[in-house]
Amino acid sequence: MSRRLKRSLIWSTLILVAVLAGMTAAISPAAAAKGSLTMAHGGSLRSIDPQLTYGAYEMRALRHVYEPLLDLDASGEKLIPVLAESWRISPDGLTYTFKLRPGVKFANGEPFDAKAVLATIERGKTDKKLGFNFIYSAIEKASSPDPSTVILKTEKLQAGLLYNLTGALMMPANAAAFVGKNYDQPNGTGPFKVAQYVANDRLVLEARPDYWQPGVPKVQRLTLRVINEESARLAAAQAGEIEIAEGLGAQFQDTIKGDPQLALLVNPIWRSEFVGFNCTRPPLDNAKVRQAIAYAINREALVKNVIQVGAPLASYPMKGVLGYSAKIPANPYDLAKARALLAEAGQAKGFKANLLVAAGNVPKIEEMSEYFAAELKKIGIDVELKMQDSAGAGQTRAAGNYDMYIISTAVITGDPDRYFDDRVVRDTYAKQGCAAKRPDLVKMIQEAGQTMDPAKRQGLYERIQDAMWADPPFVWFNQTAWVYAVSKRVKNFRPSPTTLFTLQDVSVE
């Protein structure tokens, strides 16, 4: 071998070793240890700024580090105290007084008090680029007569405010200095502190020995990983690398059941897929046409054969959420009635329309769109599918270049007002929204959003749903369910329907 060749080989080997050695110095996953739990999901982990993110996975991840004043219980139906020990609402419904929990500290030892709450709210109100700006902008004024009390005043009645506050994670007092900037110094009151964070890859958390709630967390180390590819996520669970794989496709249910190390868990969540309409384009501006479409979809067959998980649903919200109406059947499938309604609307021969699909964002949405088109074909409506990615579809909708669109929506705060306010009243695309022609509906929704009595609110939402069924601005299909593969070594894993559950009570054998 020539000297030159030998020298080349030596240099090449040294470079390769140096490159590979760099990996051991860089990020590396923690070895599976007793008292450690790893959960993987798809989606993203864009930031550890608790006010910047609004995705369900990100919010849930950061709820292990930061906490809200109050939260929903495991069923998602009841509010429970967290950083606020108690609260009361003034008789006029415009003032909320919170008594803060004593003895709570941030991860750096700083005490949690009213200053932190005020700073969190100030940043939330001032920084317009935050994901959940709407929570803070609903608060007209925040003040504090003493370090353990916070008073929030609203300009108008807001029945959903307490529920919305479950999404407001409390930050330290220096948060106010980070308006417009990324709050990348994780320091919360939660049961864990951040040991390692790699954007869109993993968040590694270590248990805090000084956490205010005794007995939790049950694991010393919690790792939340992003594994976007579903097959790879399940494979990681099968290989024992992770204990919980979340959001798997329904087609994997038999595989999970067949694995002796894994348990299948199907968790219905408060998420639904639906079709919206451009009511400026005839004949979709005709209520009978939209009613016909609502009757033409066999939701049971859709759930059984296409989505393969979840439950049929023809109204919103779903059972468990305030406002659910049992009067509207889950599957009002009636082709004859659909044809009759189309005939009454003067569309007996059918018509052509397009359906804008935000592909890739929601499991099986492409298949659902194809099923929807096939069902409408039976009553003479010829549907052309327009597939775009989520961002492109959003732009297309905003420009009004669609007849119908299909999308997913969720009630993550447990209160229906945000959904109704956004989707129907303001209707993101209000120019084309069907509610623009329904001042009666808009008035009912606004009234329900300002009615503090839960029983009265329930009655109002039931009337709203009757009105929406008679003249549908949307056609709902289903209530989604998430599929989990859970290691049999995991104990006490109970995901909530809001998807914003934490894992502090979960242990691993």
Partner 1 sequence: MGSLMLSLSKHGWLFSGGLPAARCRVAERGISRFAVEGLMRQYILRRLFQSVFVLLGVSVVVFLLLRLTPGDPARVMLPEGAPEQEIAEVRRLLGLDRPLVEQYAIFLHGAVRGDLGQSIMQRRPALPMVLDRLPATFQLTLVAFVIALAVAIPVGVISAVWRDSVWDHCVSTLALLGQSMPVFWLGIMLIMIFAVQFRLLPTSGYGLTQIVLPAVSLGAYLMALASRLVRSGMLETFGEDYVRTARSKGISETRAIFHHAFRNTLIPLVTVVGLQFGSLLGGAVVTETVFSWPGVGTLAMTAILQRDYPVVQAVVLTVSACFVLINLAVDILYAYIDPRVRYV
Please identify, among the stretches 189-197, 219-227, 273-281, 320-328, the one whose residues bind partner 1 according to the rule CB under 8 A: 219-227
Please identify, among the stretches 193-201, 210-218, 271-279, 327-335, the one whose residues bind partner 1 according to the rule CB under 8 A: 193-201
Q: Report residue 240 as tokens.
A: 């024992």
CB of 24 to partner 1, least distance (A): 6
* Separation of alpha carbons 308 and 161, rounded Å: 35
Which residues does 341 contact at the CB level (< 8 Å), separation at least 6? 288, 289, 291, 292, 295
Using the rule CB under 8 A, which residue among 398, 440, 456, 466 binds partner 1?
Answer: 398
Q: Does 179 bind partner 1 (CB under 8 A)?
A: no
* Binding footprint of partner 1, residue count (CB under 8 A): 62
Q: Does 336 bind partner 1 (CB under 8 A)?
A: no
Using the rule CB under 8 A, which residue among 345, 407, 503, 506 binds partner 1?
Answer: 407
CB of 193 to partner 1, least distance (A): 21
**Nearest of 215, 212, 176 to residue 85 by alpha carbon:** 212
CB of 327 to partner 1, least distance (A): 26
CB of 75 to partner 1, least distance (A): 24
CB of 20 to partner 1, least distance (A): 6
* Separation of alpha carbons 215 and 378, rounded Å: 59
Asked whether the beta carbons of 219 and 506 are under 8 A apart, the reply is yes
- Per-residue mark of binding to partner 1, 93-132 (x: CB under 8 A): -----------------------------------xx-xx
What's the number of CA atoms in the CB half-sphere (13 Å) around residue 478? 29
SS3 of residue 7 by DSSP: helix
Q: Does 198 bind partner 1 (CB under 8 A)?
A: yes
* Separation of alpha carbons 55 and 57, rounded Å: 6
Asked whether the beta carbons of 246 and 40 are under 8 A apart, the reply is yes
Report the number of secondary-structure helices (H) and strands (E) in the chain.
15, 19
Crossing angle of helices 365-377 and 287-296, in 10° steps, is 110
Using the rule CB under 8 A, which residue among 44, 95, 97, 185 binds partner 1?
Answer: 44
**Nearest of 76, 89, 125, 169 to residue 413 by alpha carbon:** 76
Place of tokens 């007849």: 403
CB of 29 to partner 1, least distance (A): 5
Q: Does 391 bind partner 1 (CB under 8 A)?
A: yes
Q: Which is nearer to partner 1, 43 or 93 (CB)?
A: 43
- Per-residue mark of binding to partner 1, 275-314 (x: CB under 8 A): ----------------------------------------
* Separation of alpha carbons 106 and 114, rounded Å: 13
Using the rule CB under 8 A, which residue among 118, 227, 262, 444 binds partner 1?
Answer: 227
Using the rule CB under 8 A, which residue among 232, 348, 374, 470 binds partner 1?
Answer: 232
CB of 255 to partner 1, least distance (A): 10
CB of 379 to partner 1, least distance (A): 29
Backbone angles phi, psi at 386, to 5 degrees: -115, 105
Using the rule CB under 8 A, which residue among 9, 14, 17, 430 binds partner 1?
Answer: 430
* Separation of alpha carbons 412 and 192, rounded Å: 22
Tell me the one-letter amino acid at 427: D
CB of 110 to partner 1, least distance (A): 23
CB of 236 to partner 1, least distance (A): 5
Asked whether the beta carbons of 246 and 254 are under 8 A apart, the reply is no
Q: Report residue 313 as tokens.
A: 């649903």
Asked whether the beta carbons of 187 and 107 are under 8 A apart, the reply is yes
* Separation of alpha carbons 379 and 300, rounded Å: 18
Tell me the longest C-alpha to C-alpha distance in the chain: 93
* Separation of alpha carbons 137 and 7, rounded Å: 67
Residues 16-35 that bind partner 1 (CB under 8 A): 16, 19-20, 22-24, 26-29
Residues 410-429 that bind partner 1 (CB under 8 A): 418, 422-423, 426, 428
Q: Does 39 bind partner 1 (CB under 8 A)?
A: no
CB of 329 to partner 1, least distance (A): 27
- Pairing label, strands 474-487, 311-312: antiparallel
Q: Where do contacts with partner 1 occur on this chain (CB under 8 A)?
A: 2, 4, 16, 19-20, 22-24, 26-29, 44, 46-47, 49, 52, 54, 128-129, 131-134, 181-182, 184, 198-201, 225-229, 231-232, 235-236, 238-241, 360, 388-392, 394-396, 398, 407, 409, 418, 422-423, 426, 428, 430
